[in-house]
Amino acid sequence: MNTTLETQFSFPGQKSFYKGKVRDVYNIEDKYLVVVTSDRISAFDFILPKPIPYKGQVLNQIAAKFLKATADIVPNWLIDTPHPSVSVGLKCDPYPVEMVIRGYLSGHAWREYRDGKRILCGVTMPDGMIENDKFPEPIITPATKNNEGHDEDISREEIIAQGIVSETEYLELEKHTRALFQKGTEMANKQGLILVDTKYEFGKHNGKIHLIDEIHTPDSSRYFYRDGYQERQEKGEPQKQLSKEFVRQWLISNGFQGLEGQTMPEMPDEFVQSVSERYIELFEHITGEGFIRQNNSHNMETSVKDYLADL
């Protein structure tokens, strides 16, 4: 299979290495980051046992497209993509929160709502909604960013009171979050999709807020098909969606939600292939471009070394 499960490169000027759930991150001279988007896939904060062919390329190329398209809204970390699965950018000091924004009652928000909760991260959700209904206005439901274990819901008030982010900077993060979501919504709409919810991460570089990490990918976002959305809602039918939620649902149906005592189910090869095809489908729908399958591992280290030599 054409997959990159992990990398162990050694670059000139390399100061440190960090292996995340999906990405391998190389710190170059405390100035730049080389981020390899692997084909690992995570759900419920656990890495699944098998990699997904072309997933890294899909995520990296979608993120690069949206980072370039939103650079006029807020500066971002990306400099270039010297390989289909690799991005090189500025090393920023990250804020320890994820800015989650939801336009529709889906996923985690729906599960909380279904269980009777009407306040999520300090934000009140209206009564009388059903799964996948549109909120009157998008809501921001932040989460703490943890290196290990589950990210946890947190309110704006708690973030400010605990000094995690200053009030002035947090309000600026909210402003950027709403503007980015609006841009992503418009771009999705042109492709016949609905951007349901997503998350953004920010950091500071030379005292200025920058957008970091990936944006508007199937790992960080949920999309519905626009055509038929209203009809499916009125009939109480599930929405046709492009996101990682179908992987979570497969795990749930096989008795796994990342809870103590649960065992990760074996992933059949047919399921792995179906996940790969769903990622490629999303790439083509959200970008409007044909996906060109490339050898993820071929010349990856050499390509990056050559690029860094000229940086």
* pLDDT per residue as tens digits for the range 6-16: 999 999 999 99
In this prediction, residue 77 carries a pLDDT of 98
In this prediction, residue 145 carries a pLDDT of 77
* pLDDT per residue as tens digits for the range 120-135: 999 999 999 999 999 9
Q: What is the pTM of this model?
A: 0.90
- Phi and psi for 173 in degrees, rounded to 5? -60, -40
* pLDDT per residue as tens digits for the range 125-163: 999 999 999 999 999 999 997 655 567 999 999 999 999
- The hierarchical CATH code for the domain 14-93+268-310 is 3.30.200.20
pLDDT-based confidence at 89, cuts 50/70/90?
A: very high
In this prediction, residue 61 carries a pLDDT of 96
Task: Work out the average pLDDT over 185-201.
Answer: 96
In this prediction, residue 272 carries a pLDDT of 94
Q: What does pLDDT average to over the chain? A: 93
Question: 105-132 in b/e burial notation, b at 16+ Cβ within 10 A?
Answer: bbbbbbebbeeeeeebbbbebeeebebb
Annotated domain spans of the chain: 14-93+268-310, 94-243
Q: Alpha-carbon distance 244 to 18, whole Å?
A: 24
- The hierarchical CATH code for the domain 94-243 is 3.30.470.20
Chain centroid to CA 211: how far?
13
